[in-house]
Amino acid sequence: MFMLFPQPPHAVGRFILQSDKTRALRPAQQGGIQTMKRIPAVLLALAVIFLLGGAALAEGGTYSASHGVVTQVDTEAQTMTIRLGGREEGTLTLDISEETKIVDNASRTACKLSDIKAGSTVYVWHTAGQSSFLPPHRKAYAIVANVAADQTAGQLFEIASVSKGKNGYTLLNAEGDLYLTVPDASIPVYGQSAKLRASKLEKGMVLLAWYDVVLESYPGQAGSDRLLMLSTAAGGDSVLPPQTGDHSTANLLFAGLSLCASAGAALLLIRRRRMEQA
């Protein structure tokens, strides 16, 4: 059914044919509806940008090393908080899992979270990046615990290459800045009674090494017979965290989607008011 609606007095004699379900819209209103139709596409594009940004962060996840003094150990929550030392400041809370390797520095053997006491010094390798927790949380991969003031702490070493030499084997680390010479002997394995022959070392394996002197060259050079294997699988059973960053990725995605939703609501409100005023 169609109805004839007269125009205002200044336009007498002209009529607009309208349906009682679909009425003719003024240009401003038509433009408003088209803009409103474009808003979901804009929001979708923003969401995709944030998702891709989060994925990029996930792919670029890195690992960091920290050391400091333990201020709290929570065996129920499986966390440990340290007061950072060196150039770092503040505190850091570490999430401990079944995959976390905890090593007593003096005995160079596996130990438990409960063996770490407040006030002791620890060296930690963990995921990098910020998180929404205060203090910041990180997923701990390896912890060298109970480091005395007069002791050298074990250092994480991921093997990038192995070469046979006169005095044993020379290993290059994944960062490419240190050569480590180890004797042709058996190396203890974390949590196991079995040992691994140095001749079986391969790229991708991870170990802890205790050494005192690093020659000033590039790459640096050191030697050690105090070793502990953390991973005996070449590129398979890697003990390093996967390149997925930490909770910061999820936090970024959530914040991005929340921002998109807020921006969309604001745009809709502004457009509605403009249409009402038009």
Q: Which domains does the chain have, with CATH numbers?
A: 2-59+250-277 (no CATH), 62-151 (2.40.50.320), 154-235 (2.40.50.140)
Lowest mean pLDDT among 1-5, 66-70, 248-252: 1-5
- The radius of gyration computed from the CA coordinates of the chain, to the nearest angstrom, equals 31
| pLDDT, tens only, 52-62 | 444 333 333 35
Scored b (16 or more CB within 10 A) or e, 2-30 reads eeeeeeeeeeeeeeeeeeeeeeeeeeeee
Q: Which amino acid is at 100?
A: T
Report how far apart, in Å, the C-alpha atoms of 131 and of each of 76, 141, 204 are. 21, 17, 28
Q: Given a cut of 80, is residue 19 above it in pLDDT?
A: no
Question: pLDDT: is 28 or 186 the higher one?
Answer: 186
